[in-house]
Structures are given as structure tokens and as C-alpha cells.
């Protein structure tokens, strides 16, 4: 068991946050624990929930000796205070309605940064829900409604993000199909161009082959002609030689 002796509200809040079950927090004056009766009752209710004792010698309070009587009395006072506040609020609403001035309940102003940090501590199990409500000065219905609204807003953001991602993926797929179609056309055009060039090369090869074939035929014909001329010259030479011998 640890005895936390505090001197002001700052130390009290720190001790109330760190104290474990079985510990005891001691203050010199009630004002060192809270600035109002409502805040004090809420703080003591939170200590009771965590099974932490509270001592204030100047006010004659010691929950270690009185057991749960002090905490029970505090709960009753807190419930009475809340009831009185609700009745006053309802009276004000009825009066405003009669005067035609009632426009509904105004949203409770909450520091969003503080709310997020306190809720994060609560969700992590570092503080209780009641302590979170005390820090934020919110009623349970307002506290949980805010959390529900926060979750609904976060879910809305997630759905919008999911919708945007799906839209982007759909657009990307559409663009990919268009790019693929354009690439196929380009490949077909290039293939056709290559085929045409190949055909032209084959045609040139055919022409060259025909030229070489014609050249070989001409050379063969020329050789035959030369051989024939040589034979004719030899025959004429023999004939001339024979005539000369006869004369």
C-alpha cells in the first residue's frame, strides 16, 4: 500500500491517476482535491471505483475507517446534485418554450485534442471510463455519444477512402486496358512494317537471284559462241590450207 500525500490539485490528479488498488491519497484541505463540490464528488467516485482510499483530516474524512460509508454518501450527494441540475435545466427549458425561445439543446463544447487523448488512455486501459468522464467533465450519455459519433465519422472517412481507392483502381484498370490496346495496335503495326520490309528484302533477293541466273546464262552463251567461232576459224583455216596445197 502506498500513501500519497498531496499539496494541491495538480498533485492530487497525478496521484489519482497513478494510485493502485489499496493505496491511499491524503490532502490537507478539500480544495486541494477539487475546485467544486461536483468535482470533488466525481473524484471520490472515481477513487472508490479503483478501490483507492481518501483522507482529509481537516474535513474529518477517512475512508479507511468508515469503509464505504463516505463513498456511499458521496454517491448520494452526487446523484442529488445531478438531479437538481437536471431539474433546473428542465425548468429553464420549459420557461424558454413558453416564451418561444427554446431552440433545442446546444452541443456541449469539448476540446477535441483533449477528448482524443483522454479517450486514447481509456481505450488503452490506463484510466477508467468514469475517470475519463471526470477529466472531460462529461456525463456518461454525452461521453459515449461523442465516442459513437467519433467512430461513425471515422467509419465515414474509411468508407470514403475505400470508395476513392476503388475509383482510382477502376480508373487505373481502365487506363491499363487502354494502354494495352494501344500497345497491341503499335505491336501489330510494327509487325506489319517488319513483314513488309522482309517481303521487300525477299523481293530484292529474288531480283538479285534472277540477275545472277541471267548473267550465268549470258556467260555460258558467250562461251558457247566463242567455242563455235574457234571451231569455224579452225575449219576455215584447214580449208584454206588445203586449197593452197592443191595449187
Domain total in the chain: 1
The predicted pLDDT at position 158 comes to 74
User: Is 154 inside a domain boundary?
Assistant: no
User: For the segment 55-68, what is each residue's pLDDT rounded down to a tens digit?
Assistant: 888 888 888 886 55
> Reduced to 3 states, what is the DSSP secondary structure of residue 27?
strand
Q: Percent of the chain at pLDDT above 90?
A: 2
Q: What is the pLDDT of residue 247?
A: 64
Q: How far is CA 166 from CA 156, 169, 170, in A?
A: 15, 5, 6
At 23, is the pLDDT very low, low, confident or very high (cuts 50, 70, 90)? Answer: very high
**pLDDT tens, 137-156?**
888 888 888 888 888 887 88
- Gap between the Cα atoms of 83 and 71, Å rounded: 18
pLDDT in tens, 127-138: 888 888 888 888
- pLDDT averaged over every residue in the chain: 80
For residue 81, is pLDDT > 90? no
Taking each helix axis from N to C end, the angle separating 140-246 and 129-136, rounded to the nearest 10 degrees, works out to: 100
62-76, 108-122, 163-177, 203-217: least confidently modelled range: 62-76
Q: Which is higher by pLDDT, 23 or 37?
A: 23
Average pLDDT over residues 72-101: 68
Instruction: Tell me: pLDDT of 49 over 70.
Output: yes
Is residue 54 assigned to a domain?
Answer: yes
**Which residues make Cβ contacts (< 8 Å) with residue 31, sequence separation at least 6?**
9
Query: Is residue 91 included in any domain, yes or no?
Result: yes
41: domain range?
1-101
pLDDT surpassing 70 at residue 84: no
> How many C-beta neighbours within 10 Å does residue 62 have?
15
Whether residue 26 is predicted with pLDDT greater than 90 in this model: the reply is: yes
Within the chain, residue ranges assigned H as helices are 9-18, 37-49, 63-66, 69-98, 112-123, 129-136, 140-246
Dihedral sign for Cα 208, 213, 217, 223, please.
positive
35: Cα separation from own chain's centroid: 43
Q: What phi-psi label fits residue 56: left (phi over 0), alpha (psi between -120 and 50 degrees) or beta?
A: beta
- Is residue 120, in this structure, part of any structural domain at all? no
Task: Report if residue 64 sits inside a domain.
Answer: yes
- Does residue 95 fall inside a structural domain? yes
Residue 149 falls within a domain, yes or no? no
Does residue 7 form part of some domain?
yes
Residues 95, 101, 102: CA angle, nearest 5 degrees: 75
Strand 24-27 with 53-56, pairing: parallel
d(CA 16, CA 120): 18
Per-residue pLDDT averaged across 184-199, rounded?
A: 81
Cell digits of residue 10: 495538480
Rounded average pLDDT over 217-222 = 82
Tell me, what CATH number does 44's domain have? 3.40.50.1390
Amino acid at each position: 500500500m502506498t500513501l500519497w500525500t498531496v499539496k494541491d490539485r495538480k498533485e492530487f490528479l497525478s496521484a489519482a491517476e497513478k494510485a493502485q488498488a489499496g493505496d491511499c491519497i491524503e490532502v490537507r484541505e478539500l480544495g486541494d482535491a477539487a475546485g467544486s463540490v461536483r468535482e470533488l464528488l466525481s473524484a471520490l467516485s472515481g477513487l472508490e471505483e479503483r478501490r483507492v482510499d481518501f483522507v482529509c483530516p481537516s474535513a474529518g474524512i477517512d475512508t479507511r475507517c468508515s469503509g464505504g460509508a463516505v463513498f456511499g454518501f458521496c454517491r448520494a450527494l452526487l446523484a442529488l446534485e445531478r438531479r437538481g441540475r437536471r431539474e433546473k435545466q428542465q425548468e429553464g427549458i420549459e420557461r424558454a418554450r413558453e416564451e418561444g425561445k427554446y431552440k433545442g439543446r446546444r452541443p456541449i463544447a469539448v476540446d477535441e485534442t483533449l477528448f482524443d487523448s483522454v479517450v486514447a488512455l481509456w481505450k488503452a486501459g490506463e484510466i477508467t471510463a468514469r475517470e475519463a468522464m471526470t477529466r472531460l467533465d462529461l456525463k456518461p450519455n454525452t461521453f459515449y455519444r461523442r465516442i459513437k459519433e467519433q467512430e461513425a465519422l471515422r467509419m465515414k472517412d474509411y468508407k470514403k477512402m475505400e470508395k476513392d481507392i476503388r475509383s482510382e483502381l477502376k480508373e487505373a484498370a481502365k487506363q491499363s486496358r487502354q494502354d494495352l490496346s494501344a500497345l497491341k495496335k503499335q505491336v501489330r503495326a510494327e509487325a506489319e512494317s517488319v513483314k513488309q520490309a522482309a517481303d521487300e528484302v525477299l523481293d530484292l533477293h529474288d531480283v538479285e537471284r534472277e540477275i545472277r541466273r541471267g548473267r550465268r546464262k549470258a556467260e555460258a552463251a558467250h562461251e558457247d559462241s566463242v567455242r563455235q567461232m574457234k571451231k569455224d576459224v579452225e575449219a576455215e583455216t584447214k580449208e584454206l590450207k588445203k586449197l593452197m596445197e592443191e595449187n
